Homo-oligomer: A and B are copies of this chain.
Amino acid sequence: MRNIGIIGGTGPQGKGLAHRFARAGHPVAIGSRSAERSAQTAQELNTRLGGGTSVRGTTNAGAAGSCDIAVLAVPFQGFAEVLRNLEADLADKIVICCVNPLGFDRQGAHGLYVPEGSAAEQAAAALGGSAVAAAFHNVSAVRLRDEPGPLDDTDILVAGDDPDAKSAAMELSAAVTGRTGIDAGALRNARVLEQLTAVLISVNKNYRVSAGIALSGLAADVRDRAGAA
């Protein structure tokens, strides 16, 4: 079991992931700008999960400082400031980024330009002392919250250049889907995973669904393998 800190843990994605990680037995610290709001979210999740789970609310800095693995689940707006504020707390830790840099206009959602290429690469550049991977961008917050069982029709694609961070994210994926995450190559591939969320938002709007991604053409034994990471 790993101590997990969710930076931005009161938003839909952060809260949904916290729920899944806690249910799998990991101690989870919900971070937020507001310690009051994160305490509410923690209480809500503990109540929902029944006894034996340990979710606690704290600030983003508190979650970053106390965790083994931090999950960045904040909005892209203000992301640079979050990274600056948490750099020291996150030094030498594993950081998993699921931030989607998206804009919205009358054609729907679209990827925003990020000088570093992706939010995950921006995190890696800003957090020079942390081991960064990218994952959990494309899994629906609605399904994370509402479905009783693992999302076992869904694959978590994991991008990263650091083998430890990538392995940790791939293992943690099992708490969400019941199966190991997929090694989707170098951290720069995060730009595709992030922007893929814009495509899924289009699909959701067109079909009134909560779509996620799965890979086809993988045998069950391949999906369960740890990959070449």
Query: Are B195's CB and A222's CB within 8 A?
Result: no
Query: Are A217's CB and B183's CB within 8 A?
Result: no
Q: Is A154 an interface residue (CB 8 A)?
A: yes
CB neighbours of A188 from chain B (8 A):
107, 110
Q: Is A122 an interface residue (CB 8 A)?
A: no
Q: Is A157 an interface residue (CB 8 A)?
A: yes
Among A140, A195, A196, A200, residue most surrounded by chain B Cβ atoms (within 10 Å): A196
> Chain A binding site: helix, strand, loop or mixed by DSSP?
mixed
CB neighbours of A159 from chain B (8 A):
199
Query: Are A198's CB and B192's CB within 8 A?
Result: yes
Copies, count: 2
Query: Are B189's CB and A153's CB within 8 A?
Result: no
Query: Are B189's CB and A202's CB within 8 A?
Result: yes
Within 8 A of B (CB), among A186-229: 186, 188-189, 191-193, 195-196, 198-200, 202-203, 205-207, 209-219, 222, 225, 227-229
Query: Are B153's CB and A217's CB within 8 A?
Result: yes
Query: Are A207's CB and B186's CB within 8 A?
Result: no
Minimum C-beta distance from A150 to chain B (A): 12
Query: Are B217's CB and A140's CB within 8 A?
Result: yes
In the complex, given contacts A206-B228, A212-B215, what are 5 additional A-B residue pairs having Cβ atoms less than 8 angstroms apart? A107-B185, A143-B217, A184-B203, A185-B206, A212-B216
